[in-house]
Structures are given as structure tokens and as C-alpha cells.
Amino acid sequence: MAGVKVLIVEDEDAIAEPLAQGLEREGFEVSRVMSGEAALERPEPDLVLLDLRLPGLGGEEVCRRLRARSAGPIIIVTAKGDEIDRVVGLELGADDYIVKPFGFRELLARVRAVLRRSSGLAIQQPLRVGPLEIDPRGRRASLAARELELTPKEFDLLALLAAEPGVVVPRERILRQVWNTDWFGPTKTVDVHVASLRRKLGEPGWIETVRGVGLRLRARP
């Protein structure tokens, strides 16, 4: 991870300073800002650690604006730990969400996992499923020649399903390949992203849920 540029958006010195020092010891190039406005003025880093409770422009809006202009990884780091806050953060395009207080080793593991995932899935060839076209290299997807505005996780999930249309992809494999986790307990993360994808595809029938097994992409809804 040497040379990876991390931007910390956090107004509390007691949190930001030891976090920056720890990441620098691990070889990251760290910069820090104390407001959302300042974060949006910075050159694009390799990864953003974003607090939600910021003075001035709120973290949710900062996340939305960052995602609108870049596919770079964003990890929300906040004291807001309710499920609805997590869901909103993921729907805004965050790649992960960690709640304060947290251990540095846990955050470091999340940072490394998100950076590995951001390099993209192994799928590199263009994919076509009926009117749906996916370009893994360019990380672009279109439906009937209309480009879809997808978050990084939505794109990765759609590309994974489109690589084997009609085949049920187990939830465990989805979590492992898209979210890089081996925890297979109950999770709302996949469901939130599937619901968002269905809305953007305009037809729920594109993605079928096979209860107790996983998901599959139909050739046509």
C-alpha cells in the first residue's frame, strides 16, 4: 500500500491525528481536511475516509458529490451507527461503513480490502445480456444504449451476475467477490444494492432472488 493517497475528512483532532499517524506508519500518503467544502476542493485521492458529522456541508452530501465525479473508494467513518444511516451511506455510493469507536487494525483491514476491490473484478471482457451491455474495463453499463449511473458496488454486482446470465450466483460468492468478506450471516448490504439496481434497470425482473440460495440475472425481464 506504499504511496497510496488517503484523504481523511474529519474535524476532530483526537480521531484524525492518531489515524493519520497510524496510516503513515503503514506506508500510506495521508492528508487531512476538516470540512466537506475543503474535501471537494482537493485533488482526487486513492481513498477517502469520510466522517458524516462535519461543520458546514454534511458528510452525506459530500459523499454524494464525491461519488458523482469519481469511482474512487469511500469509507464512511462515523458515530452514526443506526441501520438506516448505514443504508443511506451505501446508497449514496460509499464502499464501506465503520462506526466509532473502532480499532485501528479493523479500519486498516477495511481500507486494504476496499483498495483491493477497487482494482476491479477479474472479468475484463465486454458482456452483453440482451439489451444490457457492460464494459468492465471502462466500468460502464448501458441498457438499450442508455448509460446507467451505477455506484462502484452496483457495477461490480451487475458485472458478476452478467458474467453468467441465467445461473444462480450464491450469496456467499457475491459477498466474497464484490464485498471481499467471508462473513455469511444476515446482511442488508446485498439487498440494498439489488433494490437500487432493479430501480435503475427499470424492471425488477432483471434480477431474480432465489430464496435461500442467491441471485441470477435473466436474459430478459
**What percentage of the chain has pLDDT greater than the value 70?**
86
Distance (Å, whole) CA 8 – CA 32: 5
Torsion of CA 183, 187, 190, 192, to 10 degrees: -160
Conformation bin of residue 10: beta by default, left when phi > 0, alpha when psi is -120 to 50: beta
Give the model's confidence band at 196: pLDDT under 50 very low, under 70 low, under 90 confident, else very high.
very high
pLDDT value at position 187?
A: 62
Greater confidence (121 vs 17) lies with 17
Residue 194: band (very low, low, confident or very high) from pLDDT cuts 50, 70, 90: very high
Q: Of 162-166, 186-190, 215-219, which range is least confident? A: 186-190
Look-up of cell digits 469511500: 74
More confident residue, 118 or 4: 4
Cβ-in-10-Å burial (0-12, 13-18, 19+) of 220 comes to exposed
Q: Considering only CA atoms, which of 172, 182, 166 is closest in space to residue 212?
A: 172
4 or 147: which carries more pLDDT confidence?
147
**Overall average pLDDT of the 106-134 stretch:** 76
Q: To the nearest whole number, what is the mean pLDDT of the chain? A: 84
Going across the sheet that includes 5-9, the strands are 29-33, 5-9, 47-50, 74-78, 96-99
**Tens digits of per-residue pLDDT, 59-103?**
889 998 998 888 788 999 887 666 666 666 677 778 888 888 888
Is cis: bond before 101, omega within 30 of 0? Answer: yes
Per-residue pLDDT reduced to its tens digit, 7-54: 999 999 999 999 999 999 988 999 999 999 999 999 889 899 999 888
Asked if the model's pLDDT at residue 4 lies above 80, the reply is yes
- pLDDT given at position 123: 47
Report the distance separating Cα 32 and Cα 1, nearest Å. 18
Q: What is the CA radius of gyration of the chain?
A: 18
| Mean pLDDT along residues 108-114 | 82
Q: What is the pLDDT of residue 122?
A: 45
What pLDDT is attached to residue 182? 52
pLDDT score of 40:
94
Q: In one letter, which amino acid is 90?
A: L
Domains of the chain, CATH where assigned: 5-118 (3.40.50.2300), 127-217 (1.10.10.10)
98 within 8 A of 203, measured Cβ to Cβ: no
